[in-house]
Amino acid sequence: MRHPLLLKYLSYRWVAYGLLLVSMVARLHTPAPRKNSSLPPDPAKVLASGQGQQLPCLEQTIDLLPLIHHFADSILSLRLPYSHQQATDCSGTFLRLNAFLSRHCPTAVLPVLGQVRSTRDLVRYYHDRGQLVLIGQPLDSDSLIQPGTVMFYTQSNRGGKLAITADNMTSLVSHVGIVYAVERDSITGRVLNYELFHSRNPRYGIDITGHHRRQPYGSQAAYPYGNGRQQWMAAAPLAIPEGV
* pLDDT tens per residue, range 203-232: 999 999 999 999 866 666 788 999 999 999
User: Does one domain contain both 7 and 53?
Assistant: no
3-state secondary structure of 236: strand
Phi, psi of 147 (to 5 degrees): -55, 130
The pLDDT tens digits for 72-124 are 999 999 999 999 999 999 999 999 999 999 999 999 999 999 899 999 999 99
State how far Cα 56 lies from the chain centre: 13
User: Residue 157 belongs to what domain range?
Assistant: 43-236
User: Does one domain contain both 25 and 132?
Assistant: no
Is pLDDT above 50 for 6?
no
Residue 230 carries which DSSP code?
Answer: B
Helix (H) or strand (E) segment spanning residue 111: none
User: Does one domain contain both 11 and 59?
Assistant: no
User: Does one domain contain both 56 and 19?
Assistant: no
Residue 109 carries which DSSP code?
Answer: B
Is the separation of the CB atoms in 122 and 116 below 8 Å? yes
User: Does one domain contain both 186 and 91?
Assistant: yes
User: Does one domain contain both 10 and 130?
Assistant: no
User: Does one domain contain both 52 and 78?
Assistant: yes
Residues 6+ apart with CB under 8 A from 200: 82, 90, 206, 207, 209
| Mean pLDDT along residues 31-59 | 78
Please, what is the end-to-end C-alpha distance for the chain in angstroms? 71
User: Does one domain contain both 57 and 175?
Assistant: yes
User: Does one domain contain both 91 and 116?
Assistant: yes
Coarse DSSP helix, strand, coil percentages of the chain, rounded to the nearest 5 percent: 35, 20, 45
**Distance, CA of 120 to CA of 170 (rounded, Å):** 5
The pLDDT tens digits for 114-152 are 899 999 999 999 999 999 999 999 999 999 999 999 999
